[in-house]
Amino acid sequence: MRFQPLTTALAVGVSAHLAQAAGLHDAAVAKGLLYFGTATDNPELTNTSYVTQLNNTGDFGQITPGNSQKWDSTEPSQNEFSFTKGDVIADLADANDQKLRCHNLVWHQQLPNWVSSGSWTNETLTAVLQNHITNVVKHYKGRCYAWDVVNEALADDGSYRDSIWYKTIGEAYIPIAFAAAAAADPDVKLYYNDYSIEWGGSKSTGAQNIVKLIQSYGGKIDGVGLQAHFTVGQTPARKDLASNLKAFTDLGVEVAYTEVDVRMKTPATDANLQQQSTEFANIVGACLDTEGCVGVTIWDWTDKYSWVPSTFPGYGAACPWDENFEKKPAYQGILEVLGGEASASTSVSASASAPETTSAHQHQPQLFFRYHLLHCGRFFYFFQLSQHYFGHLFQHFLRHSFCFFIGYAN
């Protein structure tokens, strides 16, 4: 076999480094997911230590702009668009070959005053809505994996939220928004995104009805984003999370966990950190258990920049890394449920064992020779090492060529 000497040498040369090189995204891809990712925001991009970890594509194969693509940032004055902040994060994703989940086009919050306080009719507000979506989506055309087109259209009881959109246009604003986004970029995935739809109940049913509403208009909806902002001790069981995901995929759409964090009362205790680890593992495990769940995004990766303390006084410690960028037990819990190994760099103790996984995403690879290292999903662990020693171009070459060399097909 022509390439066997090279692959044998690579197997021997990197085997000792795999545990250190493995990351959350690498492990997620090896299990059949498209990505494991994180949100970020422009203010923290001035912190070089933060950016170094954000650029770690072993952990993060996808990023979401937390605020810089929302209406108040992109169209602060009517028909005057600004993409500077959003472009910074899009450029970062491009440079790292990370998927970009674009967020969001229509929401009841973070609207500029000219929208929220305007005197609108159905016709005039519909035109504003369509114009905004068309301009923003066209600007990022070809750069986003998905757009959260409509965000949080439901009240907590599952009825429509009494927003300016619903009060002025009615429920039709939702399919109108999806139609405008589809026209502006026919190739991007279009999502409805909301919180408290992660378990069965009236709000989950309401979100399912939104999918059906868009479909009844003949519109395109590709996915539902379940935000998954949880509190330690109140996260649903893994089987219940998976059952709820399936209720959405049965409608013909994909699903993703889009804003995951698990908050606790502060200061954090060892017991709560261990429970948090189990609950992060259950969330990720539910995605693995569900055919059509494509990925998991945490709502920033470090407690230093979490939104939780300012929104829920007395709570925090919601992310897999602490305020000093040290991995918490949650990191290990996620990695274990994904079938990975602990990084040698972590300074925290091992978490409680994550539930055993039987994944609908797992593949049965066929190789022409017996090197377990060279399972292509697992071989992504080598890419981080290749980037460190040989640079991004060689990493990119390996990513797209190595599976062909060894005769493997996903």
pLDDT, one tens digit per residue, over 143-163 is 999 999 999 999 999 999 999
Q: What is the pLDDT of residues 309-349, one digit of tens each?
A: 999 999 999 999 999 999 999 999 999 999 986 544 443 33
Stretch among 55-59, 64-68, 111-115, 383-387 having the lowest mean pLDDT: 383-387
Tokens for 168, please give them. Answer: 């002025």
Is the CB of residue 321 less than 8 Å from the CB of residue 328? yes
pLDDT of 347: 38
pLDDT higher for 149 or 17? 149
pLDDT of 168: 99
Check pLDDT > 60 for residue 67.
yes
d(C-alpha 406, C-alpha 293), whole Å: 28
Which residues in 297-328 are b (16+ Cβ under 10 Å) and which e?
A: bbbbbbbbbbbbeeeeeebbbbbbbbeeeebb
Check pLDDT > 70 for residue 122.
yes
- Would you kindly state where each structural domain of the chain is located, as residue ranges? 1-30+363-410, 32-350
Active site residues: 152, 259
pLDDT of 22: 79
Check pLDDT > 80 for residue 110.
yes
* Percentage of the residues of the chain whose pLDDT score is greater than 90: 77
Is the CB of residue 99 less than 8 Å from the CB of residue 37? yes
Would you place residue 104 in the very low, low, confident or very high pLDDT band (cuts 50, 70, 90)? very high
pLDDT of 340: 81
Decide which of 3.20.20.70, 3.40.190.10, 3.90.420.10, 3.20.20.80 is the CATH code for 32-350.
3.20.20.80
Q: Cα 121 to chain center, whole Å?
A: 36
Would you place residue 9 in the very low, low, confident or very high pLDDT band (cuts 50, 70, 90)? very low
SS (H, E, C) the chain: CCCHHHHHHHHHHHHHHHHHHCCHHHHHHHCCCCEEEEEECHHHHHCHHHHHHHCCCCCCCEEEECCCCCHHHHCCECCECCCHHHHHHHHHHHHHCCEEEEEEEECCCCCCHHHHCCCCCHHHHHHHHHHHHHHHHHHCCCCCCEEEEEECCECCCCCECCCHHHHHHCCCHHHHHHHHHHHHCCCCEEEEEECCCCCCCHHHHHHHHHHHHHHHCCCCCCEEEECCEEECCCCCCHHHHHHHHHHHHCCCCEEEEEEEEEEEECCCCHHHHHHHHHHHHHHHHHHHHCCCEEEEEECCCEHHHCCHHHHCCCEECCCCECCCCCECHHHHHHHHHCCCCCCCCCCCCCCCCCCCCCCCCCCCCCCCCCCHHHCHHHHCHHHHHHHHHHCHHHHHHHHHHHHHHHCCCC
Q: What is the mean pLDDT of residues 282-308?
A: 99
Q: What is the mean pLDDT of residues 247-256?
A: 99
